[in-house]
Structure 1
Amino acid sequence: MPLLLWFLLPFFLFGQTAKEIVQKADAKMRGNTSIVEITIKTVRPSWSRSMDVKAWTKGADYSLILVQSPAKDKGIVFLKRKKEVWNWMPSLERIIKLPPSMMSQSWMGTDFTNDDLVKESSVLKDYDHSLVGDTVIGSRNCYIIQMIPKAEAAVVWGKLIVCIDKTDFIELHTRFYDEDGVLINSMNGYDIKMMDGRLIPTRFEMIPADKRNHKTEMIYRSVQYDRPINDGFFTIEKMKALR
Structure 2
Amino acid sequence: MEALIWADTMRGEFEMRITTPRWERTLGLRIWMDRPKRSFVRVLSPAKEAGIGSLRIGNEMWNYLPAVERTIKIPPSMMLQPWMGSDFTNDDLVKQSSAIDDYVQQVAGEESLEGRPVWLIEALPKPDAPVVWGRIVYWIRKDSIPVKQEYYSDRGELTRVMAFSEVRPVGGRSIPTRWEMKPLGKPGNVTVITVKDAEFNTAVDDEIFTQRYLQRR
TM-score range, shorter chain: over 0.9
Distance 2:106 2:138 in 1: 10
Match for 2:2: what amino acid? D
State percent identity of aligned pairs: 36
Task: Could you list the structure 1 runs, at least 4 aligned residues long, displaced by more than 4 angstroms after superposition.
Answer: none
How many angstroms does 1:210 deviate by?
A: 2.1
User: 2:65 — aligned with what?
Assistant: 89
Question: What secondary structure does 2:29 align onto?
Answer: strand
Match for 1:42: what amino acid? I
User: So what's the TM-score if we normalise by structure 1?
Assistant: 0.86
Choose which of 186, 201, 206 in structure 2 pairs with 1:226. 201
Match for 1:138: what amino acid? E
Distance 1:203 1:162 in 2: 16
Distance 1:126 1:206 in 2: 22
How many angstroms does 1:74 deviate by?
A: 0.8
Choose which of 177, 187, 200 in structure 1 pairs with 2:175. 200
User: 1:20 — aligned with what?
Assistant: none
Choose which of 27, 36, 55 in structure 1 pairs with 2:3. 27
Match for 1:121: what amino acid? S
> Is residue 47 from structure 1 mapped to residue 19 from structure 2 by the alignment?
no
Distance 1:137 1:204 in 2: 16
How many angstroms does 1:187 deviate by?
A: 0.2
Question: What is the aligned-residue RMSD (CA, Å)?
Answer: 1.1
Distance 2:35 2:130 in 1: 20
Choose which of 134, 150, 168 in structure 1 pairs with 2:126. 150
Give ranges in structure 2 of 5+ residues lacking alignment: none
Bigger Rg, structure 1 or 2? 1
User: 1:235 — aligned with what?
Assistant: 210
Q: How many pairs align?
A: 217
Distance 1:163 1:198 in 2: 20
Higher helix content, 1 or 2: 1
User: So what's the TM-score if we normalise by structure 2?
Assistant: 0.96
User: 2:47 — aligned with what?
Assistant: 71
How many angstroms does 1:153 deviate by?
A: 1.2
User: 1:159 — aligned with what?
Assistant: 135
Distance 2:56 2:30 in 1: 14
Distance 1:230 1:47 in 2: 37
In the TM superposition, what whole-angstrom CA distance separates every residue of 1:20-47 from its partner, at most 9, and x where no partner exists?
xxxxx00111112111111101111232
How many angstroms does 1:190 deviate by?
A: 0.6
Match for 1:130: what amino acid? Q
Match for 1:173: what amino acid? K
Match for 1:47: what amino acid? W
Distance 1:208 1:142 in 2: 23
Match for 1:193: what amino acid? R
User: 1:177 — aligned with what?
Assistant: 152
